[in-house]
Amino acid sequence: MDVYTIGLAGGMLLIILGIYGLTVKGNMIRLILSVEILTNGAIVVLVTFGATPLGVINPVIISLAILAVGVGGCIAAVGLAIVIQAFRHYKTLNVRELKRLRW
């Protein structure tokens, strides 16, 4: 197995894990974790495409990946902040019970 296959398969696995989490779970913190897993799967795929057979690293791709990791961290932070606020107001973490927030 070459590096592409491993990278793509790993990335795909992470993405599917993320979507599985989003599909099945109802707890908001678990949902945010799933989103993070999904994003990281996408980043793994991105880095895989940037890798060359000789092992030389493409700096553009790596810098983009670092940027994406940073943005992902910010998203998680904002998401958790919203979760805390929602929990304080409604005393629940279950998204099904928060359906009334839908417009």
Partner 1 sequence: MLPYAPFLVWVIPLVASALMPLAALNSRTRDIFPVLVGFTTAVFAFSMVPDVAAGPPYPNPQLTWLVIPGLITVNIGVIVDPLSVFMACVVAGIGSLILLYSIGYMAGEEGMTRYWFFMLLFIGSMVGLVVADNFLWLYIFWEMVGLCSYALIGFWYKRPEARKAGFKAFIVTRIGDVFLLTGIILVYLTTGSFAFKDLQGALEAFKVLPYTLSVVPFLMLIGAIGKSAQLPLHVWLPDAMEGPTPVSALIHAATMVKAGVYLMARTHFIYMEAAPEAWLTTLVWVGAVTALLTATMGLTSVDIKRVLAYSTISQIGYMMMGLGLGAGAGFIFLSQFHLMSHAIFKALLFLAAGILVHSFHGMRDMRKMGGLWRDAPVSFYAMVIGVLALGGVPPFNGFWSKDLIFAAAMETGNYAALAFAVVTAAITLAYGLRLIYLTYLGEKRSDEVRKAVIHEPAVMTIPLFILSALCFITGFTAEGFASFLGILGGHSHVVLHIEPLSAALSIIAIIAGALPIYLVYGRKSPPPERFAIGGWGFLQRMLSEGYYFDRFYYAVFVDGLKSAVQGFRKSHPGILNFNMSLILGGFIVLTLLLLTLGGGW
Q: Which residue shows structure tokens 């092992």?
A: 55
Phi and psi for 94 in degrees, rounded to 5?
A: -85, 125
Cβ neighbors of 44 (< 8 A, separation 6 or more) are: 7, 10, 11, 14
Interface with partner 1 by CB under 8 A: which residues? 19-20, 22-26, 31, 95-96, 99, 102
Residue nearer to partner 1 on the CB measure, 23 or 52 = 23
Structure tokens at 6: 């491993």
CB of 101 to partner 1, least distance (A): 9
CB of 4 to partner 1, least distance (A): 16
CB of 80 to partner 1, least distance (A): 17
